């Protein structure tokens, strides 16, 4: 398992534009709690915008979205014209 986790994490930082490699990898480990599928997901997210995983790892309480907050956010997005699936 150790080798596969290391290989998954190595995917972040392979490109020159991927910043704060060690910090992002640690954040991915923290968020995933060692779950290999979650590591894959967080690596993919970090490759798009590494700041997301840093924020989620550094501010877990602020990053949570309650069910009511989620409904409000989806309603606001729909009001702005976003084409979202119904829940």
Which positions of the chain have pLDDT values less than 70?
1-2, 86-87
pTM recorded for the entire structure: 0.71
pLDDT at 71: 81
Helix (H, G, I), strand (E, B) or coil at 35: coil
CA 6 – CA 19 distance, rounded (Å): 18
pLDDT at 87: 59
12: alpha, beta or left, given left = phi > 0 and alpha = psi -120 to 50?
Answer: beta
Extents of the domains making up the chain: 2-79
55: alpha, beta or left, given left = phi > 0 and alpha = psi -120 to 50?
Answer: alpha
């Amino acid at each position: 398992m150790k080798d596969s986790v290391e290989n998954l994490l190595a995917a972040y930082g392979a490109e020159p534009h991927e910043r704060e490699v060690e910090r992002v990898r640690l954040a991915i480990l923290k968020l995933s709690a060692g779950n290999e599928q979650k590591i894959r997901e967080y690596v993919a997210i970090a490759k798009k915008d590494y700041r997301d995983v840093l924020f989620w790892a550094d501010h877990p309480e602020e990053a949570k979205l309650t069910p009511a907050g989620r409904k409000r956010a989806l309603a606001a997005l729909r009001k702005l014209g976003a084409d979202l699936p119904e829940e």
